[in-house]
Chains A and B, each alone.
Chain A
Amino acid sequence: MRRRKKRGAGEVELNLAAMLDMAFQLLTFFILTFRPSPIEGQIALNLPPPIAVTNVNQVRAAAGTGGGDASVVPGTGTLVLTLHATPDGKLKDLVFGARPLLRGPIDRGGLSLLNTELENLLATPAGAFDAVQLHVDPALDYETFLSIMVTCSKQKTPDGKPLEKLSFVELKSK
């Protein structure tokens, strides 16, 4: 098929004004609906159904090795951290096993101290604990709980693997 010859005199001109109107309407819609959302990070958790907590003292007793040597049955116990809250939801104190570790609202220094204590206890080859359980006051605010949980989740076991057994339970209301 032969193409038609362009004629200089009868040139076809598109009316761009209508298209421009439509394009501006689309542009207005996109500008008005544009809401840049902030970048959010996330902390991944795998929460299987609840299982019984191993009590290291019971394990030691069952193994006939009572006494104070925690290295006898390594990697079988659950370290319990108890978090108490003030009525307004801030951290009142953190009890590390049976020992009070932190008092007052948590800050970077407190988290750093907790991290050091956990490292000393969990990463040593003779460590008695392979799991951490948080006993949390129901009034504690989410941010404090999350920051402590993340500190615990960063810990490693003596073989260099990340600590996987991390759980939390709600303390009974007073």
Chain B
Amino acid sequence: MSGSVNGENRAEPNLTPMLDMVFQLITFFMLVINFKSASLDLSLKLPVIGSAQPLDTQGVEDMLILNINNQGQLLVYGAVTPLENFLAKEARASRMKLPPADQKKADIELPTSVIIRADKGVSFKDINRVFTECQARGFRKFSLKAFNMEETSA
């Protein structure tokens, strides 16, 4: 069966339902997109600890995420970065968030929480160096990231 298309009798599909559906899909992806995950190195194999629970800080807490690979190196957006320089820079930035009167106090506790995402194979020596460096710069609050069940994709 063949049909000719001419100027007088054109068959035009109704694109409106398709556009509706596409907009709904766009809305879904816009809502679930998480730009924060760019700072998380998903190649790390986190330790598995049954009692590790997601903690909701209601978005009010300032966080510094440190990705540590199994060699004990700090990864920032996938690139190996010297830990000392990075922490010094972040500590300066965190200190600026303190009230002006407290900014010059040497032993003041910084308001930033350090989130450590370390590979499960990293040695204690390397992870202890991270803690020590952070403490030396005034960071006191730490969170250690872990899966609470074995990742099937890992």
Contacts and interface: CB of A to CB of B under 8 A. Distances in A.
Contacts of A147: 47, 49
Contact of A42 (B16, B23, B127, B144): B144
Contacts of A27: 22, 25-26, 29
Interface stretch (B77-85, B93-101, B135-143): B135-143
Interface in B102-122: 107, 115, 117-122
Which of A34, A42, A45, A139: most chain B Cβ within 10 A?
Answer: A42
Contacts of B51: 41, 43, 150, 154
A47 B140 contact: yes
A-B pairs, top 7 by smallest CB distance, nearest first, are A41-B52, A30-B29, A138-B125, A143-B47, A143-B120, A16-B15, A42-B143
B29 A44 contact: no
Contacts, number: 140
Given A42-B54, A49-B107, A23 B22 contact: yes
Which of B55, B124, B127, B151: most chain A Cβ within 10 A?
Answer: B124
A140 B123 contact: yes
A135 to B, nearest CB: 11
A37 B34 contact: yes
Interface of A: 16-17, 19-20, 23-24, 26-27, 30-31, 33-49, 85, 89, 136-143, 145-147, 150, 154, 168, 170
B144 A146 contact: yes
B30 interface: yes
B37 interface: yes
B146 A141 contact: no
A142 B49 contact: no
B15 A26 contact: no
A95 to B, nearest CB: 16
A41 B30 CA distance: 25
Contact of B33 (A30, A38, A45, A141): A30
A90 to B, nearest CB: 11
A108 to B, nearest CB: 9
B19 to A, nearest CB: 5
B26 A30 contact: yes
Given A40-B146, A46-B141, A140 B124 contact: yes
A71 B145 CA distance: 38
Nearest to B141: A46
A139 B124 contact: yes
A150 B52 CA distance: 9
Given A39-B54, A41-B146, A31 B124 contact: no
Nearest to A41: B52
